[in-house]
Amino acid sequence: MKHVKLLYFLFFTFIFLIRFSPIVQAQDINQRIQETGAPFTYVLDTNSISTNPISTQTLNKKNGWTLLAEDDTAHPFKGDVVFLNDKIAVIVRQKSHGVEIYSLIDGQSARRATLFAQTSSPETLSSLEILENNPGAVEIKANYKIISIGLRLTTGERSLEILPSVETDRLRIESLCEYVIVPDFFSDDMVFSADAFDRDSIRLPTAKFFLQAIHGGDCMMMGVWESDEQNTRLILSGSGAARKIEATEIECKEGRKIWLALMENANLWHCANKQTIPPSIGENWSPPFSANWRMNVLQNGGMAKSFPFSEPSLQEQAQASCLIYPIDRDRATPLTTICPIDIMRNTLGVGPCQYILAAEGLGSDANPTTEQVTEWVERQFERKRETRYKDQIIVQFTAMTNLLTETEKRIERYQVLTNELSASCQNEARAHPQMASAVPPLLAILANIDNAILSKRDARKSPQYAVQLSDQIVSLIGKEDGLSVCQKLGDQLRAIGLAQDSTLSKCRMMARWFLQNCWMIAERTPEVSATMEKVITHAENLLKSKP
Amino acid sequence: MRRNVRLISYAIFTSVIFLLGSSLLYGLELAELSGEIVFSSNRSGSWRIWMIQADGSNLRQLTDGKEDENDVDPAFRKDGKEILFTSTRGESVGIWKMSINGTNMERICDGDQAEWSPDGNKIAFRREESIFTRDLISNVEKKISPDDWPHCSGPAWSPNGKTIAFACRWDEENALFTVNADGGQPVKVYDKKGACEPHWSPDAKLLVYETETHICTIQPDGQKNRLITYWGGIQRYGQWSRDGNHLVYCQGVSENGPWELYIVPSGGGTAVRLTEGDSDMNPDWH
């Protein structure tokens, strides 16, 4: 009996040790992660310093690594630092100033990117601090000679939060990127491939995010940053067939976070390149999950025409190269699938509508768009409570028509920008003959802004007309059969809002395209760079000025 | 000898359970869940109070009314015998109570977002963006949010009845606070990512709350903030199961819905859909 008790004690002690030991070795780490089943973030010490990036096999096995206990923030690292959740692993190596990022998919890893916090000279790691270590989040601060970089990974999320120190100039992201996409939720995207430019470094016309289509088609990476004053660059290298996207760079600003998100799914993005890939690849492809998929028909130099994707629409683009990716979820999108708009909400905290209004200086808490207000008013009519809520209906309509007025003013500002920039370009061309060949393409872009404004002028009506429509709806309050008339008038108001959104998006996109071309001219032709800078500053000031 | 065999068998059995226990906790089968979940839904037209068993069975509508009347924000009394809710019945938005079969409706006072005290004798609620308590026996009301605090919302009574958690919005940011149930200076719990809608766990060790996009838990002292949902779309209105092992919440495609109810282990894990069709919001679990 004594032996049985001893056996019982030893057995329980053994079980307890393997279950709760803070330091777990080798494959026990993976076993423990699987056993808990709960979402997690963990920090590990590899116990040896690696001079090369850690292989995916080594990361999968974790042999000889030490798993730090929860809240252990004073661990003296013998090797390199690994921290992870169930979707992303981040490795900070002692012998590298790069931070390596891996996707984790069903227990296997895939190296996706390396981050470099850049200053004027390269630096190696000098020290590491663990700021937070628990199943909810891990935060690590990597200190280099001059700069430091904060890295935060939260349970279950697909994005790494990055906070570079004030001395950091820019964050360089190296990956096997095939396309860089600058999405626009209401207008056309811009899509840049390695052969888009002949320069090796070019500024990108981004606002606060870009997407990268990673080689293989199963991964898209999204970079998000907090300020539209943070510029970005595309770094290219090689020539001919060897030309490739080397990296992207995001400018750092004091106290501004940057996020890097990895979206993973088999066939997540697809390029139907009819000229270089057997057509059957494009024809056989179909979206791997339900979502709002966007198809970009690629044009020269990064321009694209964007459409909601449907399989017949792919067939129609027989001779064009098309890039297809999921932009937003729908009701049938799997819960665990993340789209770019999800990442935008999770990082910047706003959806597309608030984003475009905020970008144009028109954002507000109330967000009284024609869509929202007319839908709410129609609901009051449907439920026959429009009389009770008459005052609120008037308040809502006032806010809505004010927004329509401000938006129309913003569109007029684009018209002014176009006229002023056209004049400016022509003046500079007259004063500097070397600018002559560069100016016509710029004027063509400006003409496109003009066209966008003019083509929807009728559809946008006028703010005064919108006021008349809303007054007519208010006059229906208390009348029999008011709902059907209210809906017809509501449709007209929604059409005005839609035309404004579309015009504003096209203007903004073309203005960014104009800047992109100015940057290229300035970099390609140094003798006109000073002149182009004047045009660029003029355009940027007009874009930034709020109504 | 038989005793020894029994002991060893017991040791092996308990060890296996001990090892597997946590993983069982994070797996989720609706059929294993008990209790009732009350929520508001527009599945029959206007917003009404509905109830469903936590295992997904016996979906039924509790309230009905005129087309222009809406009932939202239901909350169980701790003994599960009565439900508070907010309704537009009558002339102004008000707090109502009813039996759990939808009978014996009674208007209590103006206000919304009401929740019972643990003993069922008081309610905490919002009126004109301030937080009040009301004694249901004496009808005496007390304002417990400071006079100069704007935009207070979502009061939640702690299980011991001594503290109330709520949210307050300052300029652009929401923050979570706790305050003595008799009033006093609120203490900040957390002020990032639009935190609001707090609810206490049954053991009072955690608050569940929502950010702009996700459901999180946090200790009342502001420590151990943890993301519980991290799916695409929007997650709102987290509420605890009676045993504190699970959370029910609303999942929306975007900020504008439509909303469906899901259940997730309270330590995080796989979520399971409870309802679908139209929009279901504001769940409470008894």
pLDDT: which is higher, A538 or A167: A167
Q: Domain total for chain A?
A: 3
- Could you tell me if residue A436 is inside a domain? yes
| Residues A275 and A395 reside in one and the same domain | no
ipTM for the complex shown: 0.83
In a domain, residue A317? The reply is yes
pLDDT attached to residue A169:
92
Domain count, chain B: 1
Q: Same domain for A394 and A527?
A: yes
**Residue A10 domain flag:** no
Confirm whether B2 is domain-assigned. Answer: no
Q: Which residues of B touch A374 (CB under 8 A)?
A: none
**3-class secondary structure, A14:** helix
Residue A491 placed within a domain: yes
For residue B190, tell me if it sits in a domain.
Answer: yes
For residues A372 and A508, membership in a common domain is answered with: yes
% of chain A surpassing 90 pLDDT: 51
Among A325, A349, A373, which residue terminates a domain? A349
- Chain A contact present for B223, CB below 8 A: no
Is the same domain home to A278 and A375?
no
In-domain check, residue A54: yes
Q: Which residues of A touch B12 (CB under 8 A)?
A: 11
Is the per-residue pLDDT at A546 higher than 80? no
Q: What mean pLDDT is reported for chain A? A: 86
CB of A346 less than 8 A from some CB of B: yes
Are B70 and B111 spatial neighbours (Cβ–Cβ below 8 Å)? no
C-beta atoms surrounding A447 within 10 Å? 13
A207 within some domain: yes
> Would you state the pLDDT for residue A212?
97
Considering the domain architecture, whether residues A195 and A330 belong to the same structural domain is answered as yes
Nearest chain A residue to B27, by CA: A37
Check: CB of residue A540 under 8 Å from CB of residue A515.
yes
Query: Is B253 in CB contact (< 8 Å) with chain A?
Result: yes
Residues of chain B positioned with their CB less than 8 A from the CB of A155: 226-227, 230, 268
Domain span at A459? 358-544
CB-CB contact of B41 with B28 (8 Å):
no
Interval B130-182: pLDDT, tens: 999 999 999 999 999 999 898 999 999 999 999 999 999 876 678 999 999 99
Contacts (Cβ under 8 Å, ≥6 apart) of A516: A190, A202, A203, A204, A205, A302
Interface of B with A in 89-118 (CB under 8 A): none
A37 in B contact zone (CB under 8 Å) = yes
* A396 shares its domain with A296: no
Residue A228 shares a structural domain with residue A261:
yes
A520 vs B248, residue with greater confidence: B248
Measured between beta carbons, which residues in chain B are less than 8 angstroms from residue A330? 253
Q: Which amino acid is at A315?
A: Q
Q: What is the pLDDT of residue A545?
A: 61
Q: What is the CATH number of the domain that holds B186?
A: 2.120.10.30
Report which of B190, B148, B201, B134 is spatially closest to residue B167, judged by C-alpha positions. Answer: B190
Q: Which of B26, B225, B229 sits opposite A136 (nearest CB)?
A: B225
The distance of A241 to chain B (nearest Cα, Å) reads 38
Neighboring chain A residues of B233 at a CB cutoff of 8 Å: 329, 333, 335, 342
**In angstroms, how far apart are the furthest CA atoms of chain B?**
78
Kindly report the backbone phi and psi dihedral angles of residue A60, in degrees, each rounded to the nearest multiple of 5, phi listed first.
-65, -40
Q: Say yes or no: A157 contacts chain B, CB-CB below 8 A.
A: yes
| Pairwise pLDDT comparison (A379 vs B159), residue with the higher score | B159
Mark which residues 145-174 of B lie under 8 Å from A by CB.
172
Q: What is the DSSP string of A440-465?
A: HHHHHHHHHHHHHHHHTHHHH--HHH
Question: What residue spans of chain B are helical by DSSP H?
Answer: 2-26
Of A4, A136, A336, the CB nearest to B227: A136
* Same-domain status, A164 and A86: yes
Counting beta carbons within 10 angstroms of the beta carbon of residue A24, is it exposed (0 to 12), middle (13 to 18) or buried (19 or more)? buried
CA distance A324 to A344: 19
If asked whether residues A127 and A225 sit together in one domain, one would say no
Residue B82: inside a domain, yes or no? yes
Q: What is the DSSP string of A277-299?
A: S-HHHHHH---SS-SEEEEEEE-
CB-based contact B212 A330, cutoff 8 Å: no
CB B211 within 8 A of CB B194: yes
Q: Is A292 on the interface with B (CB under 8 A)?
A: no
Q: What is the pLDDT of residues A30-63, one digit of tens each?
A: 777 666 667 889 999 999 999 999 999 999 999 9
At A345-364, the pLDDT tens digits run: 999 887 666 676 666 666 66
> B221 at the A interface (CB within 8 A)?
no
Residues A461 and A487 reside in one and the same domain = yes
Instruction: Tell me which of A112, A135, A168 is where a domain ends.
Output: A168
Range of the domain at B262: 31-285
The string of pLDDT tens digits covering residues A71-129 is: 999 999 999 999 999 999 999 999 888 999 999 998 899 999 999 998 766 677 889 99
Look at residue B44 and tell me if it is in a domain. yes
Residue B21 forms part of a structural domain: no
- Residue B266, chain A, CB below 8 Å: the answer is no
**Has residue B247 been placed in a domain?**
yes
Q: Does B17 lie at the interface with A, CB-CB under 8 angstroms? A: no
Which residue, of A150, A168, A186, is where some domain finishes?
A168
A87: left (phi over 0), alpha (psi -120 to 50) or beta: alpha
Query: Which residue in the set B18, B27, B68 is minimally distant from A37, CB to CB?
Result: B27
The span from the CA of A419 to the CA of A120, in Å, is 40
Name the pairing type of β-strands B122-127 and A244-251.
unpaired
How many pairs of residues across A and B have Cβ atoms under 8 Å apart?
111
Classify residue B149: in a domain, yes or no: yes
Looking at the structure, do residues A385 and A488 belong to the same domain, yes or no? yes
Closest CA to A112 of A83, A88, A147, A133: A88
Q: Is residue B17 part of a domain?
A: no
Examine the domain organization and report whether A323 and A440 are in the same domain. no
- Chain A CB contacts of B265 below 8 Å: 38
Contact between A500 and A524 (Cβ < 8 Å):
no
